[in-house]
Structure 1
Amino acid sequence: MTRVAGVATTRLSARLHTPFVTALRRTTTVDTVVVRVTDSDGVTGWGEAPQVWQVTGESLAGAEACLEGPLAAVVTGRSVEDLAATCRAVQHAVAGNHGAKAALDVALHDLAARRQGLSLPRFLGTDVHRLPTDVTLAAGDAGTLAATAGQRVGDGFEVLKMKVGTDAATDVARVLAVREAVGPDVSLRLDANQGWTPREAVTVVSALEDAGAAVELVEQPVPAADLDGLAWVTARVGTPVMADESVYGLRDLVEVIRRRAADHVNVKLAKCGGLSVGRALLDLAHAHGMGTIVGSMMESPLGVGAAASLAAAAGTTLVPDLDAAWWLAASPFHGGLSYDGASVVLPDTAGLGVEGLR
């Protein structure tokens, strides 16, 4: 019987070609813990746990300690054939630590797919290896945002995700500047990253509706824990509202659905703990008529490749948010996901297609 033989981690910091700025943070690097799970036959699966202090609160040191300690202990020696049971054991091994759990969950799926000689999308049940993505416009002044938006449309992107929430008083002007720059045919979605109060959110979104800005959706307008505020906004604006930081796992999504707090949900592996939970979240949302996307943190091609594989296999109602690795100045890996204009391209090779660090 082939068993999990070992779990190893490596810290990675990769430079972005452009600073990434939101209402929560500014970063010029992807900082992540890469995990490798090797079985007794010498086959290795890959995953990652990104550090995003302002969202998950997890550090590189914490993810590393979790992966090398209790998570490694719970999977080492287990049969590689019993993927579902092993992934459940990972979820129950520790409280929190969703990024570390996601890293190991993805690595176990990658390992299983490689053992069968299947790409991760095929292993998850789809032949789709190419899918569209939006691209984020980092927070900035109106002129810079308008110019950047024009460049991104020139790059082939048809869905722009604009970061707002840094200053409610000027958000309307910035959004209208972008809409004027790109014209009516480009989809424009907003992400406030918890930056508004409920009243500010309703004021800004209502002003944009009155101005005919044709915003596709507004993501996480209020603080994550304020589900009452989220529901209050959703009930008072015509623009669809998407929950992101308010939803980590199934319990969170059940509560959002119960309160009718949002119209859509953004499922991210580093928030929910991996592919197993991510698929369950999408299935639950679809069963209750919620709109869905699969998103990414500021991750490398490992995490984004896994998220894209989930989006391809489970399907989403809206164009997914898979541009994180597009921001990298260069991939730190041999193999793996790539971009072709506004499309994410997943290699039709074993697992995630990552063969090693550069």
Structure 2
Amino acid sequence: MKLTTHLISAPLHTPFVTALRTATRADSLLVELSDGPLSGWGEAPQVWKVTGESRAGAQACIEGPIAAALEGLGPDDFTEALRRIENATAGNFGAKAAVDVALHDLVARRHGVSLHGFLGSTIDTVQTDVTLSVGDPDALADAATARVADGFGVLKLKVGTDAVADVERVRRVRAAVGPGPRLRLDANQGWSRRDAVTAIRALEDCDLELVEQPVAAADLEGMAWVTDRVGTPILADESVYGVRDLVNVIRLGAADLVNVKLAKCGGLAAARTLLELARAHGVRTIVGSMMESHVGVGAAAALVAAYPTSAVNDLDAAWWLRDSPVVGGIRYDGALIRLPFEPGLGVTGLIA
């Protein structure tokens, strides 16, 4: 098998603003894993403020230790190849995820089935929420109204910059869209534990579905403190990369749900383990994405099709792109992601 990497920088149609950063482009590394005439695709997004991984670092990891670990193996060595990808290096979960997904994609293509079919599903649509960037109350209310008109029934509001102002923003959005759409908040670690409790309690009459990562990722005790003091479900995101992290969340009762992302955990193989572990311990689940393209989001959507989660998933990342950087793959239809019928991810190459 041959590994080839491709740097991409895809412009967004609208700036994406969170408590941690402002993005106007999605910078990623696409990975092509070839065996004869067939190629599988994967993606390692650059997310400085969350995973700390860069395109250059992912490229060095993939072309160095991961490529060396896979030397001599072919697609039929699927299980062994997955083990070697996982053990090739410490950390570097985005790089591992890209090669893990490319391998899954390649094997699915060899079997002539879609990736979601290879994972065991006949479901060909997956629902997603849509994110509203951090902004002033008027802008948020306008954006929320527009997204509901676009067909989205679950809105995720980025908060975490100022707890008092956040309350006003959320109230304006609820007033603008009415009681129908579900609202979920993502603080991206931006609140203190006390501010989190104050803000969430102040908004419980707004019928929030959940609040994601209200406090710093490392502060599991703080997140457990918040979870114990509010009625709104708490979702762990940046606090959970792998199995050990999820075990600690479960042990402390730190969250009601966990957000599983391929670029955080290392790929489809690790993500399946996390989803099963959470389910076994009564922790609800969603699958999310970083700011990535139709390749990474397509893999996550295929996972959701085969491993249904507890709530609508957070897979709108590629919706923010002005244009897809690849030929084929998933497409958005309002709040639905339509999975391809073609083999694997349905991606046939880069757009020139």
TM-score when scaled to structure 2? Answer: 0.99
Residue-by-residue CA offset, 1:248-300 (whole Å, 9 max, x unaligned): 00110011000000000000000000000001100011111111100000000
Aligned AA (1:241): I
- Alignment-derived partner of residue 171 in structure 1: 166
1:261 to 254, 263, 267: 254
2:77 to 78, 82, 89: 82
TM-align CA RMSD: 0.6
Q: How does 1:53-132 map to 2 (within 5 A)?
A: 53-132=48-127
Count of residue pairs brought into register by the alignment: 351
Tell me the SS of whatever aligns to 1:82.
helix
Aligned AA (2:310): T
Q: Distance in 1 between matches of 2:72 and 2:21?
A: 40
- Alignment-derived partner of residue 197 in structure 1: 192
Tell me the SS of whatever aligns to 1:34.
strand
Q: Distance in 2 between matches of 1:72 and 1:313?
A: 29
1:320 to 313, 324, 346: 313
Tell me the SS of whatever aligns to 1:20.
strand
Q: Distance in 2 between matches of 1:61 and 1:156?
A: 37
- Alignment-derived partner of residue 159 in structure 1: 154
Aligned AA (1:106): V
The Cα shift of 1:82 comes to 2.3
Q: Distance in 2 between matches of 1:10 and 1:24?
A: 27
Aligned AA (2:265): C
- Alignment-derived partner of residue 25 in structure 2: 29
Provide structure 2 residue ranges, at least 5 long, that are not aligned to the other structure. Answer: none
Q: Distance in 2 between matches of 1:38 and 1:99?
A: 19
The Cα shift of 1:77 comes to 1.7
Q: Distance in 2 between matches of 1:122 and 1:66?
A: 30
Q: Quick check: 1:291 aligned with 2:291?
A: no
TM-score when scaled to structure 1? Answer: 0.97
- Alignment-derived partner of residue 211 in structure 2: 218
The Cα shift of 1:177 comes to 0.3
1:133 to 128, 143, 164: 128
The Cα shift of 1:166 comes to 1.1
Aligned AA (2:71): T
Runs of 4 or more, structure 1, over 2 Å off, are none
- Alignment-derived partner of residue 143 in structure 2: 148
Aligned AA (2:77): D
1:277 to 264, 270, 274: 270
Question: Once the two structures are aligned, what percentage of the paired residues are identical?
Answer: 63
Tell me the SS of whatever aligns to 1:349.
coil
1:7 to 3, 12, 19: 3
1:181 to 159, 164, 176: 176
- Alignment-derived partner of residue 326 in structure 2: 333
Aligned AA (1:230): M
The Cα shift of 1:201 comes to 0.3
The Cα shift of 1:238 comes to 0.4
Q: Distance in 2 between matches of 1:83 and 1:176?
A: 50
Tell me the SS of whatever aligns to 1:31.
strand
Residue-by-residue CA offset, 1:298-350 (whole Å, 9 max, x unaligned): 00000000000001101101001110000000111110110001100110111
Q: Distance in 2 between matches of 1:341 and 1:170?
A: 30
Q: Distance in 2 between matches of 1:284 and 1:183?
A: 36
The Cα shift of 1:75 comes to 1.1
Q: Distance in 1 between matches of 2:312 and 2:39?
A: 31
Q: Distance in 1 between matches of 2:141 and 2:78?
A: 47
Tell me the SS of whatever aligns to 2:74.
coil
